Amino acid sequence: MNIPKAGSVALLSAAALIIATAGDAGPATAGTPTATVLTVDSPTSVLFSRRFEIDVALRDAAGGAIANAVLELDIDGSVEARTRTDAAGAATFSVSRDLPTGSHVLRVRYAGGGNYLAAAVQRSILVEPPIINLRTLPPIANAVFEFRGEQVTTGPDGSVRLTLDGLPGDDERPTFVSAPQAANQRMEFDKWFGKAPDLTASFNVFYYVSLNFRHRLGEVVDPATITRLTIRSSIGEVIELDAVAPMWVFGQRVVSLAGGLEVKDILYGIDLVEIEGTNVVNRAEQRFVPRETTEWDIEVLFYRTKIALRDLFFSFPVAARVQLEYPNGRVVHVDADANGTIDLPPLPRGTYKVTPEGVGIKVTRPVTMSRDASVELTVITYLDMAVAVAVPLAIAIVLLLLGRPHLVRLVRPSSWPLPGRRVVRRFAHAHRDSEAPPEAGDG
Q: What is the pLDDT of residues 415-432, one digit of tens each?
A: 555 555 554 454 444 445
Q: How far, in Å, CA of 215 to CA of 195, rounded? A: 53
Q: DSSP secondary-structure letter at 34?
A: B
| 28 pLDDT more than 50 | no
Pairing mode, if any, of strands 247-257 and 198-215?
Answer: antiparallel
Quickly state the pLDDT bin for 191 (edges 50, 70, 90): very high
pLDDT of residue 261: 97
Greater model confidence, 98 or 11: 98
CB distance 407 to 401 below 8 Å = yes
Q: How confident is the model at residue 9 (pLDDT cuts 50, 70, 90)?
A: very low
Residue 360 near residue 381, CB atoms below 8 Å: yes
In the prediction, which pLDDT does 6 show?
A: 40
pLDDT digits (tens, 9 = 90+) for 203-241: 999 999 999 999 988 899 999 999 999 999 999 999 999
pLDDT at 252: 98
Q: What pLDDT is attached to residue 216?
A: 84
pLDDT above 90 covers a percentage of the chain that reads 68
> Is the separation of the CB atoms in 13 and 101 below 8 Å?
no
When pLDDT is cut at 50, 70 and 90, the band that residue 36 belongs to is very high
Give the count of alpha carbons within 13 A of 437, CB side only: 3
Q: 223-258 burial, b for 16+ CB within 10 Å, e for fewer?
A: eeebeebbbbbeeeeeeeeeebeeeebbbbbbeeee
Q: Select the more confidently predicted residue: 387 or 8.
A: 387
24-44 average pLDDT score: 77
Cβ neighbours of residue 16 closer than 8 Å, sequence gap 6 or more: 33, 117
CB 227 within 8 A of CB 275: yes
Section 433-437 average pLDDT: 51
Q: What is the mean pLDDT of residues 248-265?
A: 96
